[in-house]
Structure 1
Amino acid sequence: MSSQCPGCNKAVYFAEKVTSMGKNWHRVCLKCKKCGKTLTPGSHSEHDNSPYCTKPCYAALFGPHGFGVGGGSYKYN
């Protein structure tokens, strides 16, 4: 039995799947939407059904902004 990977829309079979965000992924398809870093289930953040690495991408994109907030004063564009 297989399901469809949200990253590449191809079939995911039992031997190659990782489960995250309630969906089955190929291990190489579970990547940060911003920087492309390969993620592991349970060690990333989610926004609008997309995975993000928690630091720095998710924090910089969706966390508090402003000078000195969160240890830096940068913001991704």
Structure 2
Amino acid sequence: MWARARRACTPLCGFPPHLLKRSLGRDYHPLCLKCQRCKMHLNAGQHAEYDERPFCRNCYLKLFGPRGETQIPLTLSVSSFAL
């Protein structure tokens, strides 16, 4: 969905407003709506957001899923494996 907005796209951009895509309650310039990790361009409504930043679903799950990179890393020693 395209909308004409009165404010800048997002804190990510700072460019003046013009035709924007509306997704998850926020307005984005078409080129600004991309994953913050892999930079893949996203379609409105088909992505996830974390801390007001868009992510593709794959990167969102990798970063913030049950075993994401932002979790405390699991450290295993050789003695923890049964041989």
TM-score between the two structures when normalised by the length of structure 1: 0.72
For 1:76 and 1:34, the matched residues in 2 are separated by 12
Residue 34 of structure 1: CA displacement? 0.6
For 1:62, which of 64, 68, 72 is the aligned residue? Answer: 64
The reply to whether residue 5 of structure 1 matches residue 12 of structure 2 is: no
Larger Rg: 2
TM-score between the two structures when normalised by the length of structure 2: 0.67
For 2:30 and 2:62, the matched residues in 1 are separated by 25
- The within-5 A match list for 1:12-51 is 12-13=17-18, 16-51=19-54
Runs of 5+ consecutive residues of structure 1 not aligned to the other structure = 66-74
Q: How many residues align?
A: 65
Instruction: Give RMSD over aligned pairs.
Output: 1.8
CA offset digits 1:24-49 (Å, max 9, x no partner): 21101111111111111110001111
Ranges of 4+ aligned residues in structure 1 off by more than 2 Å: none
